[in-house]
Amino acid sequence: MALLISKNDLAHAKRIVIKVGTSTLTHKTGKLDLKLIDKLACTLTNAVNRGKEVILVTSGAVGVGMGRLGMREKPKSIPEKQAAAAVGQGILLQMYEKMFGEYGQTVAQVLLTRGDIGDRKRYLNARNTLNTLLSMGIIPIINENDTVAWEEIRFGDNDTLAALVGGLIDADLLILMSDIAGLCDGNPKENKEAKLIPLIEEITPEIEALAGGAGTRWGSGGMLTKIHAAKIAGDSGIPMVIAQGENPAVLDEIMDGKDVGTLFVPKEYKLQHRKRWIAYGAELQGTLWVDKGAEEAIVALGKSLLPIGVVGFEGNFDPGATVSVQSADHKEFARGIVDYGSKDLGMIMGHKSREIETILGYKEYDYVIHRNNMVLKV
291 annotated among ligand-binding-site residues: no
225 annotated among ligand-binding-site residues: yes
Contact yes or no for 254/241 (Cβ under 8 A): yes
Identity of the amino acid at 192: K
322 annotated among ligand-binding-site residues: no
Identity of the amino acid at 269: Y
Q: What is the CA radius of gyration of the chain?
A: 22
146 annotated among ligand-binding-site residues: yes
Contact yes or no for 321/337 (Cβ under 8 A): yes
Q: What is the dihedral of CA 144, 150, 152, 156, to 10 degrees?
A: 40
179 annotated among ligand-binding-site residues: yes
33 annotated among ligand-binding-site residues: no
222 annotated among ligand-binding-site residues: yes
59 annotated among ligand-binding-site residues: yes
178 annotated among ligand-binding-site residues: yes
CA 30 to chain centre: 25
* Cα 368 to Cα 338: distance, rounded to the nearest angstrom: 6
* Cα 37 to Cα 60: distance, rounded to the nearest angstrom: 12
Instruction: Report the first-to-last Cα separation within the chain, whole angstroms.
Output: 22
The helix (H) or strand (E) run that includes residue 16 is: strand 15-20
113 annotated among ligand-binding-site residues: no
Query: How distant, in Å, are the alpha carbons of 4, 188, 261, 275, 322 from that of 279?
Result: 23, 33, 28, 6, 9
Contact yes or no for 305/325 (Cβ under 8 A): yes
158 annotated among ligand-binding-site residues: yes
What are the binding residues?
19, 59, 146, 158, 178-179, 220-226
What are the binding residues for ATP?
19, 178-179, 220-226
What are the binding residues for substrate?
59, 146, 158
